[in-house]
Copies of this chain bind each other. A is one copy, B any other.
Amino acid sequence: MSVVKKRKLDKTRQDRLYFDSYSDVTIHEEMLADHVRTGTYRTAIMRNSESIRGKVVLDVGAGTGVLSVFCVQAGAKKVYAVEACSIAEQAAQIVRHNNMEDRIEVIRGTVETVELPEHVDVIVSEWMGYALLHESMLNSVLYARDKWLKAGGLILPSKAELYIAPIIDPVAEDRLHFWYTVKDQYGVDMSCMYDFARRCVMNSDITVNSVTVEDVLSHPARFAELDLHSVTVDDLRSVQGHFRCESFGSAAVNAFCVYFTVTFPCPDKPHSLVLSTSPFKPETHWKQAVLYLDVSVDVVQDTPVTGTVRMYPSDESARHVCIHVDYTIGEEKKQSKTFSIPDWSAEAQP
């Protein structure tokens, strides 16, 4: 299960792997069954029906076309559902099955290469990857915005925010403790495995995991915000910000958790609508990104945990996100660690 030496993939192969992976039904099932995700998008689209009714919409990375159908239900005159991978065939079938072929045009291709017959009033897209930016599909949304969105057009969602919090991951603690239990179980002292296990478990992979509320050790801190109307592809090369948290109580911090929210404007309502992947909110298929420290650090109540987070595309694959964290816990000296999502395509089987 370990990660073998990462190979540098050429761009074409990267794209092929990326788009092929979405051809399978599993990911679409997972995304649709994620009611927080799909339900919030549906509500957001319905609440924006004033801006959608009679208008032209571009759905970037349409998948099965569910958001395109929602837009028609909200009154859209025309939806261009652009999808690069073969699931576009199923999307077209679903559009026909729902008698919307006069309103939704499924176009197979990348949004960077397709030609639309007109500019659009609205862009809708579910572009968020693990830790928000993994897969960097946001680049495609920004490209579409600059090329196809009319001035003053609407983007759904319109804002993204990134958060960080120190956590304790008890599973990692249990896994390390395991090596002290082998002697009792089998009469073989394996406590000397602890350091090796720590290096393996507390590694620099970004782990996608469900963080439990009790394991979050402070109020999360927002460290970055992206306004989708103004952010540029160049800005995404380095998304960064500072954070400061204060521990709720005595605990051993062994990781950070990073998560995001995206916000939909709601013109007729006092509040905007937020799709949150916070551990304090109902679980989504994005879960949270967990970044392990090399060693755990004890904190007491109000111990400050401060630092800087920077997210940027990996050298090996522009679709893979790296997260660099500089952090200081209490009186400890400043530490730095760079994390990345393991490149499963270059990984050995278990």
Contact = CB atoms under 8 A, between A and B. Distances in A.
Given A73-B187, A189-B98, A348 B196 contact: no
Contacts of A90: 192-193, 196
Interface string A63-101: 010100110010000000000000000100110011000
A25 B200 contact: yes
A75 to B, nearest CB: 14
Nearest to A42: B186
Contact of A1 (B24, B70, B186, B349): B24
A191 interface: yes
Contacts of A200: 24-26
A94 B193 contact: yes
Nearest to A26: B1
Contact of A348 (B17, B348, B349): B17
Majority DSSP secondary structure for residues of A touching B? helix
A341 interface: yes
Given A97-B192, A178-B33, A66 B16 contact: no
Given A66-B186, A94-B188, A201 B1 contact: no
A21 B342 CA distance: 14
A35 to B, nearest CB: 7
A2 B24 contact: yes
Interface in A158-210: 175, 178-179, 182, 185-193, 196-197, 200-201
A283 interface: no
Contacts of A346: 345
A4 interface: yes
Contacts of A190: 32, 64, 66, 94, 97
Given A42-B186, A94-B188, A97-B192, 10 more contacts: A1-B24, A25-B201, A26-B200, A27-B350, A32-B182, A38-B185, A66-B188, A70-B186, A73-B187, A344-B349
Interface of A: 1-2, 4, 16-18, 20-27, 29, 32-33, 35, 38-39, 42, 64, 66, 69-70, 73, 90, 93-94, 97-98, 175, 178-179, 182, 185-193, 196-197, 200-201, 341, 343-350
